[in-house]
Chains A and B, each alone.
Chain A
Amino acid sequence: MTLQHYLVISAILFTLGIFAVLTRRNAISILMGIELILNSCNLNFAAFSRFMTPPEDISGQVIAIFGIVLAAAEAAVFLAIILAIYREFGSIRPNEVDTLKG
């Protein structure tokens, strides 16, 4: 496995994430898309840290670990907001949540 393999996989993950966010009609699927985006970044950081920096420098892997933590925090907040949305609107489809516009 070379650096290119990891980068290609992470680029695919990132694109899939963006695609999911843009096309999915369900808030949970959008959240999954966002998780894909964040994980592609973590993969990038870990791969770059392994191939591009000296072995004793693990700053990239540390960033990846923080990325995982932040993704979890974001998922928690997102799910809480989805719950609030469901209580108010009775639906978690973004196109039905549209009282604010103009």
Chain B
Amino acid sequence: MQPLSNIESLLYFSPEILLVIFAAAVVILDLIVKDTESSAVAHLSLAGCICVFATVLVTHFSFSHEGPVSLFLGMVQLDVFSSFFKVLLLLATTATILFSLRSEELDARLKGEYYALLLAITLGMFLMASSTNLLMIFISLETVSLTSYILAGFLTHNPRSSEAAFKYITYGAVASGTMLFGLSLLFGMAGSGDLGQISVRLTELLAAGEVAPLAVLIAITFILAGVGYKIASVPFHMWSPDVYEGAPIPITAFLSVASKSAGFALFIRFFYSGFGSSELMQAVDWTFMLAIVSALTMTVGNLAALPQQNVKRLLAYSSIAHGGYLLMGGVLLTPEGIGAILFYLIVYLFMNLGAFHVVVLIANEEGSEMIEGYRGLASRAPLVAWAMAIFLFSLTGIPPFAGFFGKWLLFAAVLEQGYYWLALVGLLNSVVSLYYYARIVKAMFLEDAGEETTQTSFSTGTFALLSVFVIPTILIGFLNIFYTFSNISVPVIPMQ
């Protein structure tokens, strides 16, 4: 597979180019529109998402018969895997823009920058899912990180938001610096920045005994610091509860879904396609380390979620725990495990964004993110309460919701490889998680709001948006019966 030159690559790169154009157009439109109440900017960025979505599909279907295409002299790669993540990330961005339109937290004067940054972060995540070179990996990771620091601190008049941004950048900068150090060691050992060449040369050098396995392991551990911070795995999870609590709710939803998905895209691209050859796996054994990290991540996330009173913070810990479940699929880097991760990311997108949509609604209505605000929701707004219950049960992994099928695939992939203790830890964690999810359900259905209950009325648009999340959460799991998702990764991601 010969990499295409810069000019030839442009056509294959059209979704990203379109994103840049729309981000610039949003900034310009914001300068033209003087009315601060106008939502023209948000609608332009929505239109941008839809156009990019169409372009991603067109690009994918026109070029997928060529197999994976390497662009810009081997910097990024267009394949089924990157197209999959582009679709997933665009869904998250679109949902975030819709949430932001409805959220009352945001400062009307700064909306232009806000939406432009959202489109820019999407561009960074596109690149994270498709980069095949150390330089591109680092640049895309930093693009996403720097933009998310700004978005987390976007509520400039709110001390909690500034504090969230401060904590985020302190952890994030150290983690990405550590990752860059690991990348530099890897570059030095292999003498190349290209993932495919690194894989080939390291295999040769390890076989010839010119590179110590320990050195490779150290470089990998350093790189895991950067990836682990993006997917909020232990011990790099400390930023996430504070950031999720302090950031505006739409951004919290975006970070918990899109940032994590992009992190996993990078993780899979790096460790499976770049590093996953069996010779390398035999020479340098890091699977046990990943298994420990995965078990710790879900346990810490679930245990810390138990006493939380703030729903945003509770969902933050739940999101850490889900990072642990997802890592479980990546432990042995088998095609089944990767397929399970991809399927779970789809499921997680719908159920988690749905739950955050309800949090936005309640925050607008009650002005509070605490569990008390959910008391008596079933009598005030039964449909919203039922939807939230479905999302929470799906997050727990209770059949027949999609979360159950997602977890089932993950556990199956782990069991197949004989990691019984890891599956057991995951199972126990699911049981623990039922307790804190059920606390919200209990508040909604079994407790009274106290005052006389007035029916809260939500607009038709709210219900339409809610059903967009509810229906997949119920149905996607059953699709699995007709179509084995565990097989998608085999053609999806080529070995380098």
Residues in chain A within 8 A of chain B (CB atoms): 10, 14, 17-18, 21, 27, 30, 34, 37-38, 40-41, 44-45, 47-48, 52-53, 59-60, 62-63, 66-67, 70, 73-74, 77-78, 80-82, 84-85, 87-89, 94, 97-102
Contacts and interface: CB of A to CB of B under 8 A. Distances in A.
Contact of A52 (B165, B191, B245): B191
Given A81-B165, A97-B166, A41 B146 contact: no
B454 to A, nearest CB: 32
Contact of A100 (B138, B185, B245): B245
Contacts of A85: 162-163, 166
A81 B139 contact: no
| 4 cross-chain pairs, A with B, having the tightest CB-CB distances, nearest first | A37-B177, A48-B188, A44-B184, A88-B159
Nearest to A34: B173
18 contacts: A27-B166, A34-B173, A34-B177, A37-B180, A44-B187, A45-B184, A48-B184, A48-B188, A53-B192, A63-B134, A63-B135, A74-B173, A81-B165, A97-B163, A100-B163, A102-B307, A102-B308, A102-B313
A72 to B, nearest CB: 11
Contact of B150 (A34, A41, A66, A77): A77
A37 B166 contact: no
Interface string B168-196: 01100110011011011101100111000
Contacts of B138: 63, 66-67, 70
Nearest to B177: A37
Contacts of B187: 44-45, 48, 60, 63
Contact of B166 (A10, A66, A81): A81
Given A74-B173, A100-B160, 16 more contacts: A10-B184, A17-B177, A34-B177, A37-B174, A45-B184, A53-B191, A59-B193, A63-B184, A63-B187, A74-B146, A77-B146, A82-B166, A84-B156, A85-B162, A97-B167, A100-B246
A84 B162 contact: yes
Contacts of B177: 17, 34, 37-38, 41
B145 to A, nearest CB: 8
Nearest to A44: B184
A52 B159 contact: no
Which of A40, A45, A87 has the most chain B CB atoms inside 10 A of its CB?
A45
Interface in B241-256: 241-242, 245-246
Contacts of A63: 134-135, 138, 184, 187, 193
B164 interface: yes
A53 B134 CA distance: 15
A62 B136 CA distance: 11
A62 B135 contact: yes
A34 B173 CA distance: 7
B166 A40 contact: no
A7 to B, nearest CB: 8
A101 B156 CA distance: 20
B188 A52 contact: yes
B303 to A, nearest CB: 13
Interface of B: 134-135, 138-139, 142, 146, 149-150, 153, 156, 159-160, 162-167, 169-170, 173-174, 177-178, 180-181, 183-185, 187-188, 191-193, 241-242, 245-246, 307-308, 310, 313
A17 B170 CA distance: 13
Contacts of B185: 44
Nearest to B162: A84
A70 B245 CA distance: 27
A74 B180 CA distance: 14
A47 B191 CA distance: 11
A15 to B, nearest CB: 10
Which of A47, A62, A66, A99 has the most chain B CB atoms inside 10 A of its CB?
A99
B116 to A, nearest CB: 15
A48 to B, nearest CB: 4
Contacts of A37: 174, 177-178, 180-181
Contacts of A18: 174, 178
B432 to A, nearest CB: 18
Nearest to A83: B162
Contacts of B134: 63
B246 A34 contact: no
A38 B178 CA distance: 8
B296 to A, nearest CB: 20
Which of A10, A30, A53, A102 has the most chain B CB atoms inside 10 A of its CB?
A102
Given A44-B181, A48-B187, A89 B159 contact: yes
B162 A81 contact: yes
Contacts of A60: 187, 193
A101 to B, nearest CB: 7
Nearest to A45: B184
Contacts of B193: 59-60, 63
A92 B191 CA distance: 42
A62 B175 CA distance: 22
Nearest to B146: A77
Nearest to A74: B173
Nearest to B147: A77
B173 A14 contact: no
A85 B246 CA distance: 13
A45 B191 CA distance: 10
A70 B180 CA distance: 11
Contacts of A10: 184
Given A62-B135, A88-B159, A102-B313, A74 B184 contact: no
